[in-house]
Amino acid sequence: MRAETRKRGFRNRSDLELKEIATIYNPVLRGWINYYGRYCPSALNSVLGHFNETLIAWAMHKYKKLKGHKTRADIFVRGIVKREPNLFVHWNKGWIRTFA
């Protein structure tokens, strides 16, 4: 699952908006949560955490003020989680583990 996240390579796609990433990834995340959440929910912790870290890397590439500042990027993503908790499926379910 981590390889799938890396393969899609959205961390370097600064042309995408967060809503576009959510549109692309929510069906994938929903499928993982439905399948692995039923049989091995603890395996999802590291995978969804990795996805959140990839979102932080995306923010660091997208916004100049966050470049090289992982903690600031994490705070930025956490702010988005608070403003729009339903943007990504796993945020709504409580998987919000991030860097800081």
Each residue's pLDDT tens digit, 25-73: 999 999 989 998 888 888 888 888 889 999 999 999 999 999 999 999 9
DSSP structure string for 77-88: HHHHHHH-TTSS
Q: Tell me the average pLDDT of the chain.
A: 88
Distance CA 92, CA 57 (A): 21
pTM greater than 0.85 (yes/no): yes
Cβ atoms 10, 16 nearer than 8 A: yes
